[in-house]
């Protein structure tokens, strides 16, 4: 998937006029790219469109229009676009109640490294978590993590051929497995992977 550059972005004015339709399209797209992992965790599989939307929203909210500042946003979000051999995921731990969330995050240290994906009968793949970012302390983990799952050529081929995809997490304080992902999600995720690498 190619990186985004300035020419891919709408001006603040253009975005303001197109935002309702654009947002609707992105929300529909995102539905086929999110996977609940039990009651309190969700994986959001990122791609070029989700990152483009993220950048447009940041520019809109912060009213950013200087080229250098736009470049900074591109540098921040482009690494979250998959490279054809991987899935890039925002992993969120979600508790409505703040006190409950605080307690949970103190028990879930290291959870981001315990998430796995599995394609067909291949071995489970663990993620490379939070590259260039420290998202945990000794007391607690963060509620948001960034994961990269690197996949072999054989796994990628299997995903393209409709092999089932499962996702799970094995943490002493939180264990859950999805079972096979629905076809529309599996197809959307297979679309991130390139057969020719």
What does the pLDDT look like over 126-179, one tens digit per residue?
Answer: 999 988 666 677 888 889 999 999 999 999 999 999 999 999 999 999 999 999
CA–CA distance, 112 with 129 (Å, rounded to integer): 6
CA–CA distance, 6 with 4 (Å, rounded to integer): 7
What does the pLDDT read at residue 1? 81
Secondary structure element (H or E) that encloses residue 109, with its range: none
Distances (CA, A) of 26 to 20, 21, 29, 31, 133: 10, 9, 5, 9, 27
pTM of structure: 0.93
Mean pLDDT of the chain: 94
Domain 37-45+87-197: CATH class, spelled out: mainly beta
As annotated, the residues of the chain forming the CATH 2.60.40 domain(s) are 37-45+87-197
- Statement: residue 17 has pLDDT above 80: yes
């Amino acid at each position: 998937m190619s990186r985004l550059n300035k020419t891919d972005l709408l001006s603040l004015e253009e975005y303001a006029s197109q935002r309702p339709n654009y947002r609707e399209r992105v929300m529909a797209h995102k539905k086929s790219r999110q996977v609940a992992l039990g009651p309190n965790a969700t994986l959001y599989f990122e791609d070029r469109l989700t990152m483009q939307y993220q950048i447009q929203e940041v520019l809109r909210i912060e009213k950013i229009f200087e080229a250098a500042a736009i470049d900074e946003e591109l540098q921040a979000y482009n690494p979250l676009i998959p490279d054809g051999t991987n899935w890039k995921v925002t992993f969120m731990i979600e508790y409505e109640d703040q006190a409950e969330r605080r307690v949970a995050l103190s028990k879930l240290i290291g959870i981001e490294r315990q998430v796995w994906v599995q394609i067909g009968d291949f071995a489970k793949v663990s993620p490379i978590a939070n590259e260039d970012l420290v998202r945990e302390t000794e007391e607690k983990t963060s509620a948001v993590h960034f994961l990269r799952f690197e996949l072999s050529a054989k796994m990628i081929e299997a995903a393209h051929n409709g092999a089932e995809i499962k996702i799970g997490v094995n943490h002493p304080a939180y264990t859950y497995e999805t079972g096979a992902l629905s076809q529309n999600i599996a197809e959307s995720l297979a679309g991130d992977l390139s057969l020719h690498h």
